[in-house]
Structure 1
Amino acid sequence: METCSASKWTVSQVSDWLAQLELPQYKSKFESLGIDGCLLLQITEDDLANDFQVKIRLHRHKILESLKKLKEEQPKSESECSDSDCTWNSMILKAVEGQCKYKIFEITHTGASIGRNSGSNNYVINESFVSRKHCEIKYNQLTNQFLLRDVGLY
């Protein structure tokens, strides 16, 4: 695995990295939290102990030391990947229940609306609990955030 671009690793590549560290028992937790390279480089010891349930101190130490090496090997422009440094091109939403279960919705910087009515929404979810125009998602370039607004128009 190439380490010069760890900030651009996919979730799968992060899992491969954990396997290389001989710590595959943590792969499922990292995968379920969607940890890609950008997020990986921000992990702290508190995160490992609390969010990832890495209870063994020596495992946390091994992960953190390997992260330290990855960060040192990053090109200067890629070494920090905080929300203010990264520009998000899109956001992925995944339906977890209903007729759209497992369906993926990609929201780009142009935003999107979600609802039951096909004439006024980018994504249509034909469920009784979804409003005609349920919500709008907009990207704020100044804060580099996607913002969701509950519209709830029945």
Structure 2
Amino acid sequence: MSELKYLQHYAPELQARVRALMDAGSLGEVITGKYPGRHDIQTDKALYQYVGELKQRYLKSVPALAKVMYDNQMDLVRGTLGTQTQISRVQGKRLKSKNEVRIAALFREAPEPFLRMIVVHELAHLKEKQHDKAFYKLCCHMDADYHQLEFDMRLWLTWRDMKTDA
């Protein structure tokens, strides 16, 4: 397994810069300097409100979310940091659907911009199912710094793994 499993698809030059920071022991300083502390959104109820506010601000026409929660079962090895699912059920002669958003529990410890980035990503899936140009355009509409936050979040995950391996 690659030492930079969260950064595999980035340019080799960028990976080399990250490795240099890791070797110098300063990756953590870079991350915590830019994103100090963690957020206060610790309960599923608080997360539901947080996600609801973002959804109301940017995706008013999308149906309400049935459930929003932190999930302890997310598989970080396969890169699952959050999921958005649509559950359909037959009720009488109608087909009812409910949308759910689940965020990996490790984001309880994350800085708020990383939580926001994951939430924006999952909310974008309510409108755009595929990771295509329209999807990323919507993500950037909801958070102009989306791509930088995604990269920085991947650095944070790399640093977090380094701390647990040590």
Task: Flag whether TM exceeds 0.5 (same fold).
Answer: no
Larger RCO (alpha carbons 8 Å, 6+ apart): 2
Structure showing the higher strand proportion among its residues: 1
What is the TM-score normalised by the length of structure 2?
0.27
Q: Which structure dedicates a bigger proportion of its chain to helix?
A: 2
- For the pair shown, which has the larger CA radius of gyration, 1 or 2? 1
